[in-house]
Structure 1
Amino acid sequence: MGIKKTLGFGVATAALGLTLIGGGTFAYFSDSVETTGTFAAGTLDINADPTAIVDIGNLKPGDHIPRTFKLKNDGTLDIKEVLLKTSYTIENRAGAPANTDDFGKHIKVKFLYNVDKLNDVIYETTLYDLQNQTPDAVERGFFLGERSGLRAGSTDTMIVDFEFVDNGQDQNQFQGDALNLKWTFEAKQGAGDVR
């Protein structure tokens, strides 16, 4: 190859290289936008006021113990239902022989009434039987009262009446005994929404 051809080929190669470099840096309009997202979960926060619904001693058969308390939704989400779970333990008096009957069978919940929903959550049952039930404490009564559930920031007033049932028989085995009741109110959310 002659010098002219070699120089021509070199110039052509350099021109092609400059064209590729220049072509890669041409100007054009552009724009961009950045989007973000946040997912913050709400809270379910059920509370009772007072938390000690019953604390009473010296009971005798035939005594009634009426009490009022409030269920409060201190969370940010509406509560669909509040299930009542019952458990208890019995402490026999020191030195006494073991009972032949369960003290919980002799403590009757005469009623648990939701004033706001106009509903009998429990009409009448013993603590013993209530252990196998989970009634909804914030369900609306028939046609009347607030809608079922407990809206965020709202309160329902509850009235309960306990009775130490006098069965007309010898109940001496319960003298000095203590029944330690635990009611757990378990809040459940409703179905999700399209948002």
Structure 2
Amino acid sequence: MNFKKLTKKGFMTAALGLSLIGGGTFAYFSDSVQTQNAFAAGTLDLSVNPDVVVDLANLKPGDEIYREFTLENKGSLDIYRVLLDTKYAVEDAKNDNNDDFGKHIKVTIMYNTSSATVPVVETTLYDLKNQTPDITAIDEFVGSVQRPDGIPAGEKEKIFVLFEFVNNGQDQNQFQGDKLKLNWTFNAEQTEGTYYDNTN
């Protein structure tokens, strides 16, 4: 074989090698598998029954109004706490008020523990509007069992409330004919996030 043929053969081999590298025309084994994954958010769904806790007329100092209502967790997630937001407006019938009617309405909210009622809130409407208490919080033992805060999914909690138009022994005539419109908003919050780990 002469030099010219050897050189030509060498160039062809080199060209073939470059074309394989450049074009990536090489074979390899392969396989693939898919996983099916899903993320579904849970729900918080708080309801209150009845939706009107109190609606009374002709109140006088010394009157007490006892009511009960039920908070129900209709969602799929546990409720960690239920914060109570209080707003009210006073209609001054004779436009003669020099004090806030809400200061004269005492509120006691009690958490039902089946065998006992434990006060959660005991204050005036005036002070309550600047607070957001957790009305499902209970830190006392009932018998030998301590009830957890919040409302588990699918469960209910009965709440008792006592309103009192406090008779302070002084002239309260300025409130005759007045109306106090109370708006309570119950804000449910979730429990803390959960860490999920599967290392198997």
Q: TM-score, normalising length from structure 1? A: 0.81
Shift of 1:19: 4.9
**1:115-138 alpha-carbon deviations (Å, 9 max, x no partner):** 14753112x322112223332211
CA contact (8 A) 2:44 2:77 kept: yes
In structure 2, the partner of 1:177 is 178
In structure 2, the partner of 1:72 is 72
Q: TM-score, normalising length from structure 2? A: 0.79
Structure 2 residue matching 1:183: 3-state secondary structure: strand
In structure 1, the partner of 2:120 is 121
CA contact (8 A) 1:61 1:166 kept: yes
Shift of 1:90: 0.5
Deviates more, 1:129-138 or 1:152-161: 129-138
Q: What are the ranges of 5 or more consecutive residues in structure 2 without an aligned counterpart?
A: none
> After TM superposition, which residue ranges in structure 1, 4 or more long, deviate above 6 angstroms?
none
Shift of 1:21: 5.1
In structure 2, the partner of 1:137 is 135
Deviates more, 1:20-29 or 1:62-71: 20-29
**1:118-174 alpha-carbon deviations (Å, 9 max, x no partner):** 53112x322112223332211134122532121122211111111222233332211
Partners of 1:116 and 1:78 in 2: CA distance: 18
**Distance change in 2, residues 1:101/1:26 (3 Å):** closer
Identity %: 51
CA contact (8 A) 2:105 2:165 kept: yes
**1:14-67 alpha-carbon deviations (Å, 9 max, x no partner):** 234345556854443221234464444333332222221112222222222111
Shift of 1:176: 1.5
Q: What are the ranges of 5 or more consecutive residues in structure 1 without an aligned counterpart?
A: none
Deviates more, 1:151-160 or 1:129-138: 129-138
In structure 2, the partner of 1:164 is 165
In structure 2, the partner of 1:82 is 82
Deviates more, 1:8-17 or 1:152-161: 8-17
In structure 2, the partner of 1:100 is 98
In structure 2, the partner of 1:187 is 188
